[in-house]
């Protein structure tokens, strides 16, 4: 099934205890697309300024990312500068320069309107709604959001939730949106707003898939080296949606396996600055790591008690 | 296999956002024993003062807890008073009165020396070593510890680690002990000190079992109501060790299943003050919740990609 992502295409400057990088390829749509493309072709809708190194993007992922929906506007590209704490558990935004992103109004390119699997990256919920208006026959739409929109555009966000199949957010965002610190009650509250599923990402602890009356948990891959958490959530989304697009099925069993592909992509994402963690990663590597997740969570069958 | 726990037998006064309790049955050995006894008979070694409501203990768990190793000393019982934050994520100790616990020197009762499965609850590592000296033919010894001992008795603790099969601690304790914030490296460091396994408890995120070259993760049971986290870690240990004692097997498969029983007991523990969360819980309830854990973590089998 055709896969579409709408989100930011940015240049990130990141400081971690292990090093720093300037103007690395970033943005939700980029992290998503690089991960998803290991599983299925993906179309990207976004905007960049005159200064964006498109060749770097094109070079990076020849596997099936269609960047033709990335609009080129006069001006500067979206830039984010952030610094992580020594344990990578928290980060501080040092600077955000919206540039051409400030006037972004996503327009789906030819062939984008009939996308079946749609991911709305973390942008203004009004724009996310605008994208949904342009998609003619979606099978599965998911969206991300963040504290900024939860606070400033709550009503639009709630309108959006009535129209998507799934919300995929961090635990802190789920808590803030629902006003409930218990993550399972928060998940149930979100389901009551419209989506039939919610994925709650928990960073180094993994992620939860909450459906009405049933939950699933996938841990994070046990990494002894984590380099840069930026974009891990979007890579998770890329793995999740890319898998669904590949198998063309949306039942619980496939959603659970999509969680494993999401966690797998998240584990590659944190291994390098920007999208460099994906360099050299093959489809075979992905399948091998998926099998490692199965071992990591496998509960051996019971024996009768003596 | 015979199961023995050595630890505190205390009276806890606890304040949570949902209520408070005074002098509730508590202490590591009590939480452990109440959980373990749902799976296997357990002998308890500890000490109480003149004021301990032993009848309440006896009444509470007739299923197979042998309290005869609990020494009665003149003086006050160990008392702990603590207060939890609104989200139960952190707690503050308001008061600790050691009472008779200050002079506790565990002496194994008749029949205790040949225990095969031994859990050393969180007490002075010198005392934990003293218990090991009294056990003649253990099959599997595990210990807990806490930041206080990590800071004040590090050398004794490291001596202890050379003599136990498993350390079971919180993630913050594993980080402090190893001096490494990455939990997987911290686990590997602990394995290098002697134990062949380490269990790292992660509160609402579940727990990790780390063995050389292989890891296993079990999430916490998805609870919409958590009442009192006190003792959840000890209940986890009780479920884990009680299961091993019941099946009499110590291979990886059984250790993984033991993790599920541990997480199950942790989920009952937090449902009420003290050990009240276990009131009315039957062996059949336990097995049903274990099956729910299997569903919570089940990754459906793959289908060939199209």
Instruction: Give residue-wise pLDDT tens across range B71-114.
Output: 999 999 999 999 999 888 889 999 999 999 999 999 998 888 99
Q: What distance in Å separates the CA atoms of residue B31 and residue A178, rounded to the nearest whole number?
A: 34
pLDDT band at B303 (very low <50, low <70, confident <90, very high): low
The string over A10-49, giving b where at least 16 C-beta atoms fall within 10 Å of a residue's C-beta and e elsewhere, is bbbbbbbeeeebebbbbbbbbbbbbbbbbbbbbbbbbbbb
For residue B61, what pLDDT is reported? 65
For residue A98, what pLDDT is reported? 93
For residue B284, what pLDDT is reported? 96
Residue of B nearest to A260 (CA): B299
Interface contact B224-A184, CB threshold 8 A: yes
- Mutation site, B216, B254, B304, interface A, largest A CB count within 10 A: B216
Nearest beta carbon to residue A223 from set B184, B246, B294: B184
CA B26 to chain centroid, in Å, comes to 12
For residue A178, what pLDDT is reported? 98
First to last CA, chain A: 51
Interface contact A299-B202, CB threshold 8 A: no
Task: Please answer whether residues B180 and A85 qualify as being in contact, where contact means their C-beta atoms are separated by less than 8 angstroms.
Answer: no
CA A24 to chain centroid, in Å, comes to 18
Mean pLDDT, rounded, for B258-287: 95
∠ CA B89-B94-B97, rounded to 5°? 125
Q: Which DSSP state fits A262?
A: H
Reply yes or no on whether the pLDDT at B24 is more than 90: yes
Token reading at B95: 């008061």
Q: What distance in Å separates the CA atoms of residue A128 and residue A108, rounded to the nearest whole number?
A: 12
Interface contact B299-A293, CB threshold 8 A: yes
Q: Which DSSP state fits A27?
A: S
- How many Å lie between the alpha carbon of B80 and the closest alpha carbon of chain A? 26
Task: Please answer whether residues A63 and A38 qualify as being in contact, where contact means their C-beta atoms are separated by less than 8 angstroms.
Answer: yes
Chain A residues within 8 A of B254 when measuring between CB atoms? 300
Domain ranges of chain A: 3-80+92-296
Cα A56 to Cα A7, A26, A259, B40, B72, distances in angstroms: 18, 12, 29, 62, 74
What is the value of pTM for the model shown? 0.95
- Mutation site, B41, B205, B262, interface A, largest A CB count within 10 A: B205
For each of chain A's 306 residues, which pLDDT tens digit applies?
Answer: 999 999 999 999 999 988 999 999 999 999 999 999 999 999 999 999 999 999 988 887 667 999 999 999 999 999 999 999 988 888 999 999 999 999 999 999 888 899 999 999 999 999 999 999 999 999 999 999 999 999 999 999 999 999 999 999 999 999 999 999 999 999 999 999 999 999 999 999 999 999 999 999 999 999 999 999 999 999 999 999 999 999 999 999 999 999 999 999 999 999 999 899 999 999 999 999 999 999 999 999 976 544
Longest dimension (CA), chain A: 75
Could you tell me which of B5, B11, B25, B6 has the C-alpha nearest to residue B78?
B11
Cα B125 to Cα A288, B134, B179, distances in angstroms: 42, 14, 19
Q: Which residues pair with B209 in a beta bridge?
A: B199, B216
For residue B302, what pLDDT is reported? 78
Nearest beta carbon to residue B299 from set A86, A223, A257: A257
Per-residue H/E/C for chain B: CCEEEECCCEEEEEEECCEEEEEEEECHHHHHHHHHCCCCCEEEEEEECCCCCHHHHHHHCCCCEEEEEEEECCCCCEEEEEEECCCCCCEEEEEEECHHHHHCCCCCCCCCCCCCEEEECCCCHHHHHHHHHHCCCCCEEEECCCHHHHHHCHHHHHHHHCCCCEEEEEHHHHHHHHCCCCHHHHHHHHHHCCCCEEEEECHHHCEEEEECCEEEEECCCCCCCCCCCCCHHHHHHHHHHHHHHHHCCCCHHHHHHHHHHHHHHHHHHCCCCCCHHHCCCCHHHHHHHHHHHHHHHCCCCCCCCC
CATH number of A3-80+92-296: 3.40.1190.20
Token reading at A68: 């033709």
**Radius of gyration, CA atoms only, chain B:** 18
The tens digit of pLDDT for each residue in B116-142 reads: 999 999 999 999 999 999 999 999 999
Interface contact B224-A87, CB threshold 8 A: no
Taking any CB pair shorter than 8 Å as contact, residues of chain A touching chain B are 86-87, 181-185, 188, 202, 204-206, 208, 214-219, 222-226, 246-248, 253-254, 256-257, 260, 290, 293-300, 302-303, 305-306
Of B131-135, B174-178, B274-278, the poorest mean pLDDT is in B274-278
- How many Å lie between the alpha carbon of B155 and the closest alpha carbon of chain A? 26
Q: What distance in Å separates the CA atoms of residue B97 and residue B81, rounded to the nearest whole number?
A: 9
Reply yes or no on whether the pLDDT at B36 is more than 80: yes
| Residue the block writes with tokens 């007739």 | B62
Q: What distance in Å separates the CA atoms of residue B28 and residue B156, rounded to the nearest whole number?
A: 20
Fold of B3-296: 3.40.1190
The string over A84-94, giving b where at least 16 C-beta atoms fall within 10 Å of a residue's C-beta and e elsewhere, is beeebeeeeee
User: Percentage of residues in chain B with pLDDT exceeding 90?
Assistant: 90
pLDDT band at B304 (very low <50, low <70, confident <90, very high): low
Nearest beta carbon to residue B205 from set A205, A216, A294: A205
For residue B241, what pLDDT is reported? 98
Nearest beta carbon to residue A296 from set B216, B224, B300: B216
Token reading at B33: 């024993």
Interface contact B297-A300, CB threshold 8 A: no
Nearest beta carbon to residue A257 from set B248, B254, B302: B302
Task: Please answer whether residues B17 and B44 qualify as being in contact, where contact means their C-beta atoms are separated by less than 8 angstroms.
Answer: no
The alpha carbon torsion through A163, A167, A173, A179 (nearest 10 deg) reads: 60
Cα B88 to Cα A100, A176, A217, A245, B91, distances in angstroms: 43, 17, 21, 40, 7
Task: Please answer whether residues A50 and A75 qualify as being in contact, where contact means their C-beta atoms are separated by less than 8 angstroms.
Answer: yes
Q: What distance in Å separates the CA atoms of residue B80 and residue B94, rounded to the nearest whole number?
A: 8
Chain B residues within 8 A of A208 when measuring between CB atoms? 222
For residue A18, what pLDDT is reported? 87
For residue B58, what pLDDT is reported? 85
């Amino acid at each position: 099934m055709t896969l579409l992502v709408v989100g930011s295409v940015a240049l990130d400057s990141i400081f971690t205890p292990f090093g720093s990088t300037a103007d690395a390829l970033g943005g939700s749509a980029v992290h998503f697309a690089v991960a998803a493309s290991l599983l299925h072709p993906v179309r990207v809708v976004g905007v960049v300024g005159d200064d964006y190194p498109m060749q770097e993007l094109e070079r990076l992922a020849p596997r099936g990312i269609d960047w033709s929906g990335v609009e080129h506007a006069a001006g500067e590209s979206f830039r984010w500068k952030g610094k992580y704490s020594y344990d990578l558990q928290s980060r501080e935004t040092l600077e955000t320069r919206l540039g051409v992103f400030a006037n972004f109004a996503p327009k789906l390119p030819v062939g984008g309107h009939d996308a079946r699997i749609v991911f709305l990256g973390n942008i203004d919920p009004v724009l996310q709604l605008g994208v949904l208006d342009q998609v003619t026959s979606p099978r599965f739409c998911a969206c991300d959001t963040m504290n900024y929109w939860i606070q400033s555009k709550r009503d639009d966000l709630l309108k959006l939730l009535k129209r998507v199949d799934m919300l995929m957010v961090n635990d802190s965002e789920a808590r803030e949106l629902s006003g409930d610190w218990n993550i399972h009650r928060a998940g149930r509250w979100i389901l009551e707003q419209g989506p039939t599923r919610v994925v709650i990402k928990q960073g180094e602890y993994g992620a939860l898939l909450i459906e009405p009356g049933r939950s699933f948990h996938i841990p994070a891959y046990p990494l002894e080296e984590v380099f840069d958490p930026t974009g891990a959530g979007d890579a998770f989304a890329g793995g999740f949606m890319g898998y669904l697009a590949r198998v063309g099925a949306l039942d619980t069993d496939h959603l659970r396996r999509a969680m494993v592909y999401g966690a797998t992509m998240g584990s590659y994402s944190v291994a390098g600055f920007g999208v460099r963690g994906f360099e050299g990663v093959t489809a075979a590597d992905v399948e091998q790591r998926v099998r490692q997740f199965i071992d990591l969570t496998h509960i051996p069958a019971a024996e009768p008690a003596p």
